[in-house]
């Protein structure tokens, strides 16, 4: 499935409020209790002081300006200035500490997720595209961070603000207050009806934006294929479609917003007009003062701010619920392959490997991909796994590395069931080189030391020389300190393979697995790799998965895998004599080679 399609079928952005998730999220605040109490205190002081502003302004007008009393003007003016100054200091402290706490919580959450993710079994990653897992660690933690950072304090601040304003308005003149609230139901209706549409439009805009990113990503990653197939025009047309949808979605969101918010202001203004109309009449009758009406209107204007802020927090809470569900799904997934309670350390491995009636399926609901697989390998033997594609060769080595646990039967090394020993002590003594060796960003040296940080420089150089990596490093001006960039993109496929050999050699495994390790290089590099392989395989039990049968002739044991079963096993000569599947595969490959050769010669 393409990245673009994943984005179209994007994950749900909002979920109903869930008390359990909320409690769990609040749990992350616990370590920062004291700081949070301090922040809430600062916010409350700021809010109460700012609530006094319109009243003070009213007094300034009534007692100072109207009566021409300069002492009162100075007094109220200086008090207002003082409030602003304290407000500024409170605002500074609140911004600093809430961001600090929010970032600390995000840091904790991301770290917890990352640590947990690394322990999860392959099965977890099988069904989930990397992009989605990454977005959980970045976007979903951010959504939760925003809720903690902004939402929590906004709620405390705006609820106080709102309650304060309503109380003051009722205290000032309850009849006028109730009159000005007349427009509230209409306002509620407008906001309630249109808010989901605005949010829907923004969601669509975000989704189409991530489709743009996905398409860009795919095109950049696959630029060679795009150009090789001259797909630029078709690609551009497809991009134009997504680009257009994004523009449309953005415009719709903006147009809706620009209709709704002025409408809210208009309705609010109607409330204000009612107050002006009644207030002005009472001012003329001498029942109210101008300062009073001014202060009243000022409070009314402030009324809408908290309402819109709280409605934003509400949608923040709902989207944090969706994020929390996804994050907790990861955190609640147990690593399937774990150490048994009584697991013991794997002693130094001699290298005797046995599969006893092993069966395995990748998913509960799917049929077995391995059926009663049994074989025995003596220490130091070279075992070749051959057979048609999809037969189960990689699955066998996956079970040997204990990337998955067998569903039936057992896998033993030196007579010990791999489930009975600790994963760390087992995998430390095993090495695997995959078809497409994963090289990490960093230097060649860092990559070589990946499985053995403690190796001396001499050991590192020796390992590199043994696998002919020194010839690759020699022309590089920075030698072993050369940066190889993400996934070793500065190295050729063959060079990456040699580096992977060096890495595994330095970790000195007792059992070695090579999965199609030499299939994607040219003949000269393959010759280097073959030489390197000899060094690598020396004195270790080795499992080699290879499609080209010419490379496995010398193996001590050949396991022919077919449809999840060991169809035949024995040495090359034995199997050829037997005249079964292996002999057929060898003859077919030979015939193909001869056909190619005769075509070249012709
Ligand atoms: N992670 C997975 N989840 C579900 N099914 C899988 C998974 N990996 C492999 N399979 C299935 O298990 C079967 C055996 O696959 P396996 O990779 O072991 O074959 P293979 O012999 O190594 O093939 P190839 O030579 O093409 O690498 C196949 O039918 C494959 O579709």
CB count, 10 Å around CB of 315?
A: 17
Find out whether 439 and 484 touch, Cβ atoms under 8 Å.
yes
Indicate left, alpha or beta for 309 from its phi (over 0: left) and psi (-120 to 50: alpha).
Answer: alpha
Which residue is closest in CA terms to ligand 1's atom 1? 126
Shared domain check, 40 and 148: yes
Interatomic CA distance for residues 461 and 444, integer angstroms: 11
- 543: tokens are 């499992």
Interatomic CA distance for residues 309 and 318, integer angstroms: 15
CB count, 10 Å around CB of 125?
A: 12
Interatomic CA distance for residues 247 and 255, integer angstroms: 12
Among 336, 354, 376, the domain-final residue is 336
Residue 391 in contact with ligand 1 by CB distance below 6 A: yes
Interatomic CA distance for residues 300 and 374, integer angstroms: 81
Q: What integer pLDDT is reported at residue 6 of this predicted model?
A: 37
Q: What integer pLDDT is reported at residue 565 of this predicted model?
A: 94
Which residue is closest in CA terms to ligand 1's atom 23? 390
Which ligand 1 atom minimizes the distance to the CA of 385? 21
Distance between Cα 559 and ligand 1 center (Å): 17
Q: What is the DSSP string of 183-218?
A: GHHHHHHHHHHHHHHHHHHHHHHHHHHHHHHHHHHH
Find out whether 90 and 42 touch, Cβ atoms under 8 Å.
yes
Distance between Cα 435 and ligand 1 center (Å): 14
Shared domain check, 127 and 93: yes
Which ligand 1 atom minimizes the distance to the CA of 395? 18
Shared domain check, 42 and 179: no
Q: Which of 569, 50, 124 is nearest to 329 (CA)?
A: 124
Find out whether 392 and 561 touch, Cβ atoms under 8 Å.
yes
Residue 392 in contact with ligand 1 by CB distance below 6 A: yes
Q: What integer pLDDT is reported at residue 9 of this predicted model?
A: 44
Q: What integer pLDDT is reported at residue 8 of this predicted model?
A: 43
Distance between Cα 582 and ligand 1 center (Å): 20
Instruction: Report if residue 525 sits inside a domain.
Output: no
CA 380 from chain centre, in angstroms, equals: 42
Q: What integer pLDDT is reported at residue 367 of this predicted model?
A: 92
Instruction: Report if residue 447 sits inside a domain.
Output: no
Q: Which of 510, 509, 529 is nearest to 518 (CA)?
A: 529
Across the strands, what pairs with 204?
none
Shared domain check, 73 and 179: no
CB count, 10 Å around CB of 143?
A: 19
Distances (CA, A) of 40 to 36, 47, 155, 161, 412: 6, 10, 10, 13, 60
410 φ, ψ (degrees, to nearest 5):
-145, 155
Distance between Cα 46 and ligand 1 center (Å): 63
CB count, 10 Å around CB of 432?
A: 21
Shared domain check, 147 and 18: yes
Number of domains, the chain = 3
Q: Residue 412 belongs to a domain with what CATH number?
A: 3.40.50.300
Provide the H-helix boundaries in 410-566. Answer: 423-427, 444-448, 457-466, 470-473, 493-506, 523-537
Distance between Cα 362 and ligand 1 center (Å): 9
Interatomic CA distance for residues 234 and 442, integer angstroms: 37
Which residue is closest in CA terms to ligand 1's atom 25? 389
Which residue is closest in CA terms to ligand 1's atom 4? 362
Instruction: Report if residue 457 sits inside a domain.
Output: no
Which residue is closest in CA terms to ligand 1's atom 10? 362
Shared domain check, 145 and 21: yes
User: Ligand 1: which of 395, 398, 405 to mutate, judged by most atoms within 8 Å of the beta carbon?
Assistant: 395
Shared domain check, 218 and 84: no
User: Ligand 1: which of 337, 367, 369, 386 to mutate, judged by most atoms within 8 Å of the beta carbon?
Assistant: 369
Instruction: Report if residue 377 sits inside a domain.
Output: yes
Q: What integer pLDDT is reported at residue 129 of this predicted model?
A: 67
Shared domain check, 53 and 145: yes
Shared domain check, 237 and 325: no
Domain containing 209: what range?
Answer: 174-287
Residue 421 is given by DSSP the state B
Interatomic CA distance for residues 153 and 275, integer angstroms: 31
Residue 390 in contact with ligand 1 by CB distance below 6 A: yes
- 165: tokens are 């304003």
Residue 195 has, within 13 A of its CA and on its CB side, a CA count of 17
Which residue is closest in CA terms to ligand 1's atom 26? 389
5 φ, ψ (degrees, to nearest 5):
-65, -35
Interatomic CA distance for residues 535 and 526, integer angstroms: 14
User: Ligand 1: which of 370, 386, 394 to mutate, judged by most atoms within 8 Å of the beta carbon?
Assistant: 394
DSSP H or E stretch at residue 178: helix 153-180
Which residue is closest in CA terms to ligand 1's atom 18? 392
Interatomic CA distance for residues 407 and 411, integer angstroms: 11
- Write out pLDDT tens, residues 478-502: 888 888 876 666 788 888 888 888 8
* pLDDT averages per 10-residue partition of the chain, 602 residues: 40 73 88 91 89 90 88 90 93 89 89 90 77 76 82 84 91 89 82 81 82 83 85 91 92 87 82 86 88 90 81 81 88 88 92 95 90 94 91 93 92 94 92 82 89 88 86 87 77 84 89 73 68 79 82 87 93 90 84 70 62
Across the strands, what pairs with 565?
562
Cα torsion for 584, 590, 591, 594, to the nearest 10°? 180
Shared domain check, 20 and 147: yes
Which residue is closest in CA terms to ligand 1's atom 28? 390
Residue 389 in contact with ligand 1 by CB distance below 6 A: yes
> pTM surpassing 0.90?
no
Instruction: Report if residue 75 sits inside a domain.
Output: yes
Shared domain check, 186 and 160: no
Among 253, 287, 321, the domain-final residue is 287
Which ligand 1 atom minimizes the distance to the CA of 122? 1
Q: Residue 87 belongs to a domain with what CATH number?
A: 1.20.1560.10
Among 257, 287, 317, the domain-final residue is 287
Interatomic CA distance for residues 120 and 602, integer angstroms: 55
Instruction: Report if residue 495 sits inside a domain.
Output: no
Interatomic CA distance for residues 23 and 500, integer angstroms: 46
Distance between Cα 223 and ligand 1 center (Å): 28
- 244: tokens are 């257009």
Distance between Cα 190 and ligand 1 center (Å): 56
Instruction: Report if residue 311 sits inside a domain.
Output: yes
Residue 395 in contact with ligand 1 by CB distance below 6 A: yes
Q: What integer pLDDT is reported at residue 148 of this predicted model?
A: 78
134: which residues sit within 8 A by CB, 6+ positions away?
A: none
Distance between Cα 551 and ligand 1 center (Å): 22
Q: Is 137 exposed, middle or buried (0-12, 13-18, 19+ CB in 10 A)?
A: middle
Residue 61 has, within 13 A of its CA and on its CB side, a CA count of 14
Shared domain check, 201 and 57: no
- Write out pLDDT tens, residues 1-12: 343 333 444 555
Distances (CA, A) of 359 to 354, 375, 419, 557, 569: 13, 13, 15, 21, 18
Instruction: Report if residue 458 sits inside a domain.
Output: no
Radius of gyration of the chain (CA): 35
Which residue is closest in CA terms to ligand 1's atom 29? 390
């Amino acid at each position: 499935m393409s990245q673009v399609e994943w984005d179209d079928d994007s994950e749900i952005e909002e979920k109903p409020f869930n008390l359990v998730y909320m409690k769990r999220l609040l749990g992350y605040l616990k370590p920062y209790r004291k700081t949070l109490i301090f922040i809430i205190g600062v916010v409350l002081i700021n809010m109460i002081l700012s609530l006094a502003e319109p009243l003070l302004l009213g007094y300034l007008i009534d007692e100072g300006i109207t009566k021409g009393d300069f002492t009162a003007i100075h007094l109220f003016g200086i008090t207002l200035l003082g409030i602003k100054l304290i407000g500024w200091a409170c605002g500074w402290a609140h911004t600093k500490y809430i961001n600090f706490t929010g970032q600390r919580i995000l840091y904790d959450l991301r770290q917890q997720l990352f640590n947990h993710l690394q322990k999860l079994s392959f099965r977890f990653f099988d069904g989930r595209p990397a992009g989605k897992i990454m977005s959980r660690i970045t976007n979903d933690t951010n959504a939760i961070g925003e809720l903690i950072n902004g939402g929590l304090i906004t709620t405390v601040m705006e609820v106080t603000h709102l309650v304060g304003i309503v109380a003051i308005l009722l205290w000032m003149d309850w009849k006028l207050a109730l009159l000005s609230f007349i427009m509230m139901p209409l306002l509620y209706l407008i906001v309630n009806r249109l808010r989901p549409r605005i949010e829907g439009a923004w969601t669509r805009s975000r989704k189409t934006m991530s489709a743009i990113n996905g398409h860009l990503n795919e095109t950049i990653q696959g630029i060679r294929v795009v150009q090789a197939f001259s797909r630029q025009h078709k690609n551009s047309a497809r991009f134009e479609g997504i680009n257009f949808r994004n523009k449309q979605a953005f415009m719709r969101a903006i147009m809706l917003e620009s209709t709704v918010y002025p409408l809210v202001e208009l309705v609010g203004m109607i409330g204000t007009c009612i107050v002006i109309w009644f207030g002005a009449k009472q001012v003329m009758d001498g029942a109210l003062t101008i300062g009073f009406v001014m202060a009243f209107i000022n409070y009314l204007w402030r009324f809408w701010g908290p309402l819109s802020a709280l409605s934003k927090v509400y949608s923040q809470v709902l989207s944090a619920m969706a994020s929390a569900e996804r994050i907790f799904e990861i955190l609640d997934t147990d690593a399937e392959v774990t150490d048994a309670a009584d697991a013991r350390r794997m002693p130094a491995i001699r290298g005797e490997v046995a599969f006893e009636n092993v069966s395995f399926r990748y998913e509960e609901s799917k049929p077995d991909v391995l059926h009663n697989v049994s074989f025995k390998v003596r220490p130091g033997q070279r075992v070749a796994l051959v057979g048609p594609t999809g037969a189960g060769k990689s699955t066998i080595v996956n079970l040997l590395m204990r990337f998955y646990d067998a569903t039936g039967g057992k896998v033993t090394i030196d007579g010990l069931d791999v489930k009975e020993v600790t994963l760390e002590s087992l995998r430390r003594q095993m090495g695997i080189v995959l078809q497409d060796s994963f090289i990490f960003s960093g230097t060649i040296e860092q990559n070589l030391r990946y499985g053995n940080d403690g190796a001396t420089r001499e050991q590192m150089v020796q390992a590199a020389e043994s696998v002919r990596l020194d010839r690759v490093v020699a022309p590089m001006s920075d030698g072993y300190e050369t940066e190889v960039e993400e996934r070793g993109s500065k190295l050729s496929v063959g060079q990456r393979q040699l580096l992977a050999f060096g890495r595994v050699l330095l970790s000195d495994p007792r059992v070695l697995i090579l999965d199609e390790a030499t299939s994607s290089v040219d003949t000269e590099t393959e010759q280097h790799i073959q030489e390197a392989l000899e060094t690598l395989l020396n004195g270790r039990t080795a499992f080699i998965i290879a499609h080209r049968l010419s490379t496995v002739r010398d193996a001590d044991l050949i396991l022919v895998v077919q449809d999840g079963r060991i169809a035949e096993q024995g040495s090359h000569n034995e199997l050829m004599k037997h005249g079964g599947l292996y002999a057929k595969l060898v003859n077919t490959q030979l015939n193909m080679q001869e056909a190619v050769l005769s075509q070249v010669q012709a």
